Structure 1
């Protein structure tokens, strides 16, 4: 009788309550629950549900998750580790996963989806891969590019179609935009006197756009790719930053941050400024200034906040926590298998890159005409 009552009670549970419960579950569990019923499958597949689930992942303060790519093995390893930052300053591996075979170089990432390639030098073949669900889609770059040309790769949403866009900037020459929804590449105009400079972590996806650093003779420019009109635009730099300073970018608290040496171009202090939320918001304020940083700025990479502390990667290897209240760097206890890792923000996401391609073209997007560009 109790079992019968339980079954009746579950069947009459309001859909709003079911949706609230499901939104708090990981993506892999939701993929399994799609098979429960047609109504659940429809609900979980709905773009609004996917977006709300992603928002929950972004605003969750308890996850503290990173995706680690095993270092010094880009040419022969597709191994990734999902790690969690514990309260006692330990980095604990939750699971190991294998990425798309043969595609072992991470170029960019956006809302839980990674842009990968199989050869950092040529970068002709790409994979969009969601490590949360294992879904993927492959496509090919149609232009022949000199292998010595510096290139920047970006990934962002297409607000008009709901798909994804890939941006490839061939430094000092031109940039191309790939629309997954339209399955086509578009080559954009040349830059003229402005040359794009690849610097440490030059790309950041925030505010729905792809930010990158460019170089005008003698000064840095903060620029961004606007997916609405596919144009690269200049963002007004904070007035307190002198043009002579080397600047770098990071995503902290879901906001664009720039950081530089706090004592001119040299020194062991690093100053971080945070931008107001939204593309059109040009308000900047100081987030923090760190003194006695144990490395040069080009070996310094802020990853995320862990409550009121900042997780930082040094030398591409070592992780430390900066405690603003005590102005100290705290060492991290890292598992031996995670020592030589490159870390990326991990977001539990239902975004399926393959959904943006017809079924027969998920393995390879065919470009009819190849255009040669030197």
Structure 2
């Protein structure tokens, strides 16, 4: 009598389950899995999947990934390193990312995409680069501007088209807006009171907009660029923050924060406030007071939380962890040392910058109005 063999059954997971599993994988794995089948490639390439994956990255409990530009100067940097802070106070280099040839100066960042150029002063050539995917797209700035003029750059999404917008503020007199979808620069607009100066570094991208901190002697204004109507708007700062103190901005927990010296600037403590979630939310609450700060506030830059501790950059190169319970600073073991280090928030993102440009490249960028600013 022949032996009975159990019937083999083949089961297939529903696409919804497969999508849920894939959304929990890093971008490096997703790029490999696009080659599994046409259906998987279609799913992972779908704009809705890309958006969901970005949302997962933003809401991840682990936000202690940084993209480090390590080098001897801002204009002579090495490749960018993706670094992670572990529990043993070590800065681990996870991978190295080669920036697009000829463009290694970071001007702004948005949802895992960096705005690069080859020269901060002239800034005629721009690159949108996603270090997670290695993809990039290039375009040019068509205006003639005095290299000595102060220029500020911002990057954000256009909620109407889903593409990117690049903003260039020149001399705090005018600004131009570049739309990747239309491959065009809009006309320059009046910026406002030219007596204000920009506290240049940093400007912060959160809430779908980028924030700038403006300063007039004794007065600070927090402004943001609204990509819906291409206007700069003023955000109310925490009431307890008085104008005569030095104040700065930071991105902590994916939220806008401002910080200043405690005790009217006479002590060695720094207070940090965090803004309510959403661009229209003007609610502020105190996040933490960091005591025993070993430096002046202009050499102090909070980067991210590592569990209940805060990673802080001091003197542009030194990294420390602040322990709120013990009110102490813990030193880091760094794999490599550098005279100059700059770190940017890192988001694992599938966004392909080139996907937001017209399918057929134009020989010249469309310019509605050309105005020079010297």
CA distance in 2 between counterparts of 1:99 and 1:81 reads: 10
CA distance in 1 between counterparts of 2:266 and 2:359 reads: 53
RMSD: 2.1
After superposition, the C-alpha distances for 1:247-292 in whole angstroms (9 at most, x for unaligned) are 1101111111000111223432111001111111111111111111
Q: CA deviation at 1:337?
A: 4.8
Q: CA deviation at 1:15?
A: 0.6
Q: State the partner residue of 1:366.
A: 365
Structure 2 residue 279 is matched with structure 1 residue 291: no
Q: CA deviation at 1:339?
A: 6.8
Q: CA deviation at 1:216?
A: 4.5
Q: CA deviation at 1:195?
A: 4.0
- Give the aligned length: 368
Question: What TM-score comes out, normalization by structure 1 length?
Answer: 0.93
CA distance in 2 between counterparts of 1:189 and 1:367 reads: 17
Q: CA deviation at 1:172?
A: 2.5
Deviates more, 1:329-338 or 1:50-59: 329-338
Unaligned 5+ runs, structure 2: none
Structure 2 residue 120 is matched with structure 1 residue 81: no
Structure 2 residue 174 is matched with structure 1 residue 174: yes
CA distance in 1 between counterparts of 2:359 and 2:134 reads: 16
Q: State the partner residue of 2:248.
A: 248
Question: What TM-score comes out, normalization by structure 2 length?
Answer: 0.93
Q: State the partner residue of 1:203.
A: 203
Instruction: Answer yes or no: is the 8 Å Cα contact 2:112–2:130 preserved in 1.
Output: yes
Instruction: Answer yes or no: is the 8 Å Cα contact 1:171–1:197 preserved in 2.
Output: no
Unaligned 5+ runs, structure 1: none
With over 3 angstroms needed to count, the CA separation of the structure-2 counterparts of 1:264 and 1:124, relative to structure 1, is same
CA distance in 1 between counterparts of 2:219 and 2:263 reads: 18
Q: State the partner residue of 1:123.
A: 123
Q: State the partner residue of 1:19.
A: 19
CA distance in 2 between counterparts of 1:245 and 1:63 reads: 30
Q: State the partner residue of 1:112.
A: 112
Instruction: Answer yes or no: is the 8 Å Cα contact 1:183–1:365 preserved in 2.
Output: no
**SS of equivalent to 1:241:** coil
Instruction: Answer yes or no: is the 8 Å Cα contact 1:139–1:365 preserved in 2.
Output: no
Q: CA deviation at 1:76?
A: 4.0
Q: State the partner residue of 1:134.
A: 134
